Structure 1
Amino acid sequence: MADHSPAPGRLPAPWSGRAAAVFGVTLSFLVMLGSGAALFVAPQGRRAAEIGWTLAGLSRELWEAVHLATSVLFASFALWHLLVHVSVYRGLLFGSPARAGHRAETGLAVGAVILVLILAMFDLPPVSWLVELGGWFKRVYWAS
Structure 2
Amino acid sequence: MFSLWFFRWLCSTFHYKPDYVSLNLLFGSLLDARAVKAAKGFLDSTGFNPAVTLLERYVKCLCKDGLVDEGIKVCTLLKEKKLRSLLELYHQGMRESEFDVVRVQCLIRALCEGGEVSQAYELLKKVLKQGLDPGHAVYPQLISIWLR
TM class by smaller structure: under 0.3
For normalisation by structure 2, the TM-score amounts to 0.27
After TM superposition, the score normalised by the length of structure 1 is 0.28
Larger RCO, structure (CA 8 Å, separation 6 or more): 1
